[in-house]
Amino acid sequence: MAEQFAELNPPPRLLMGPGPVDVDPRVLRALSMPMLGQFDPAFTGYMNETMELYRRVYQTRNRWTFLIDATARGGIEGLLVSLIAPGDKVLVPVFGRFGHLLAEIAARCRAEVVTVARDWGTVFAPDEIEDAVRRHRPKVLALVHGDTSTTMAQPLAGIGEICRRHDAILYVDATATLGGMEVAVDDWKLDAVSAGLQKCLSGPPGSAPVTFNERVVEIVQARKHIEAGIRPDDAVAENGPVIQSNYFDLAMLMDYWSEARLNHHTEATPMLYAARECARIALAEGLEARFARHRLASTALTAGLATMGLTLFGDQKNKMPNVTGVEIPDGVDGERVRAIMLNDFGIEIGTSFGPLRGRIWRIGTMGYVCRKENVLACLGALEVALRQCGFRTKPVSGVDAALAVYREAEA
């Protein structure tokens, strides 16, 4: 007889790792809204509203600002596979795991991939990037904004101007930063940017907001191909190489999101509702207020960790405000600490990858999770877990230090 499964009843968790994080209850409500047909005027109205909301979140006037129905990685792939033709040169500055991911995807697009590397925990100076661009002359510079594997944020101001001087397209992965720190697309001259919902926007994984400018449109439209069965009689085929992915073909997605509404796929209705609500909530709070909330949480958390005698990881001048790396003390079983926090307190924090695996914990203060009570609860649980594992701290010292930061900010 077939096994009978119980209804879903996930254990309650406070997700304070590098993502995903707890979904804002207002987004959960949006996910439960009724289905609509994908060409219902009410639904296409929501599509248009979502485009305009994300223009504001991205701080851009780009017409082409919409959703790709995939996780954040699908947003990355959609932009890169549509930008990169076989043989194109792509430069990827790598300062963590996700730089390697961009290089991997570019290689699968059959690009000529060149990487330059920095030690994990550091970022690139603008002149280092310009030297590499001048030396390699890439068609595309693919750059991570915030790499959660190292908790570092690469400064972007000036990088777009470098790319314009050398006739390169700048693609930026803002998965870990959009909604938590500034991503000024137009002011910074970012040509194409992608993100996801599951970090600072406090939504579920599964929808990738993207934006790109006319420099990208020119490249994509030169590769435009409309599949048989939906191709208009007056369509003219372009001479550029066909984009290798049907699903992630930006040219066809542009037709789908435009007034033409040329069918491509069935829009993921609940995810569009969620993405719309994520952006609406961020803008209702105000972007500057939201960024300040993340910076304050970072200050409080790092004050608490330092007071406990823990060492923060990496170059603190370039630390992301929404994820904090902390070195695991010598002699402490990092996985046992995480297990105590999860099993006894219901709080999840992260480990890391590659050269940092087993060396650091990553604590996320993102979006809806980025609140005083959560920072204090996390520090308290971490102190107890550390003592259980033989690391001695002054009782509640981290909580006291973090609370003092919040008290000063509230004064």
Number of domains forming the structure of the chain: 2
Pairing of β 146-147 and β 192-194: unpaired
The pLDDT mean for the chain works out to 96
pLDDT band at 238 (very low <50, low <70, confident <90, very high): confident
Give the structural domain span for 324: 287-410
pLDDT range class, residue 231, cuts 50, 70, 90:
confident
For the segment 184-203, what is each residue's pLDDT rounded down to a tens digit? 999 999 999 999 999 999 99
Q: Would 402 be classed as within a structural domain? A: yes
Of 116-120, 125-129, 211-215, 262-266, the one with minimum mean pLDDT is: 262-266
Residue 396: the pLDDT is 79
SS3 220: helix
State the pLDDT at residue 92: 98
Whether 238 and 334 map to the same domain: the answer is: no
Residue 29 maps to a domain: yes
pLDDT-derived band at 1, boundaries 50, 70, 90: low
- Where residue 25 falls (left for φ over 0; alpha for ψ -120 to 50; beta otherwise) is alpha
CATH number at residue 301: 3.90.1150.10
Classify residue 6: in a domain, yes or no: no
- Same domain, yes or no: 153 and 258: yes
Long-range contacts at 124-130 (CB < 8 A, ≥ 24 apart)? 124/93, 124/95, 124/154, 126/155, 126/158, 126/159, 126/162, 128/93, 129/93, 129/159, 129/162, 130/162, 130/165, 130/166
Of the candidates 240, 256, 283, which is a domain's last residue? 283
Phi, psi of 54, deg, nearest 5: -75, -25
107: domain CATH number? 3.40.640.10
Q: What is the mean predicted confidence (pLDDT) over 293-300?
A: 98
Q: How far apart are CA 74 and CA 220, in angstroms?
A: 17
* Residues contacting residue 236 through CB under 8 Å, at least 6 positions apart: none
Q: Give pLDDT, residue 72.
A: 98
The answer on pLDDT for 236 being more than 80 is no
pLDDT at residue number 232: 77
pLDDT-wise least confident of 116-120, 375-379, 388-392? 388-392
Element at 200 (helix H, strand E): none
Sequence length of the chain is 411
Of the residues 268, 283, 298, which one is the last residue of a structural domain?
283
Local structure of 16: helix, strand or coil = coil
Mean pLDDT of 6-30: 96
In the three-class reduction of DSSP (H, G, I as helix; E, B as strand; rest coil), residue 260 is classed as: coil
Distance between CA atoms of 52 and 211, rounded to whole angstroms?
11
pLDDT score, position 302: 98
4-8, 187-191, 220-224: range with highest mean pLDDT:
187-191
341 and 225 fall within a common domain: no
Residue 212 confidence (pLDDT) = 98
**Residue with structure tokens 């390169």?**
168
Supply the DSSP string of 50-110, one letter for each residue. HHHHHHHHHT---SEEEEESS-HHHHHHHHHHHHPPTT-EEEEEESSHHHHHHHHHHHHTT
User: In whole angstroms, what is the distance from residue 374 CA to residue 87 CA?
Assistant: 48
pLDDT in tens, 263-287: 889 999 999 999 999 999 999 999 9
Q: Which of 60, 34, 61 is nearest to 46 (CA)?
A: 34
**162 shares a domain with 71:** yes
Q: Which of 254, 283, 312 is the last residue of a domain?
A: 283
DSSP secondary structure string, 350-402?
B---GGGTTTEEEEE--GGG-SHHHHHHHHHHHHHHHHHTT----TTHHHHHH
Q: State whether 100 and 233 are in the same domain.
A: yes
Asked whether residue 230 carries a pLDDT value surpassing 90, the answer given is no
Statement to judge: residues 232 and 330 lie in one domain: no
d(CA 254, CA 217): 9
354: phi then psi, degrees, rounded to nearest 5 = 50, -130
Q: Is 165 found in the same domain as 38?
A: yes
On whether residue 226 sits in a domain, the answer given is: yes
Tell me: do 270 and 343 sit in the same domain: no
Clarify whether residues 200 and 313 are in a common domain.
no
**Same structural domain, 153 and 297:** no
In this structure, the answer to whether residues 231 and 351 fall within a common structural domain is no
Is residue 326 over pLDDT 70?
Answer: yes
Whether residues 238 and 313 fall in one domain: no
Question: Is residue 65 in some structural domain?
Answer: yes
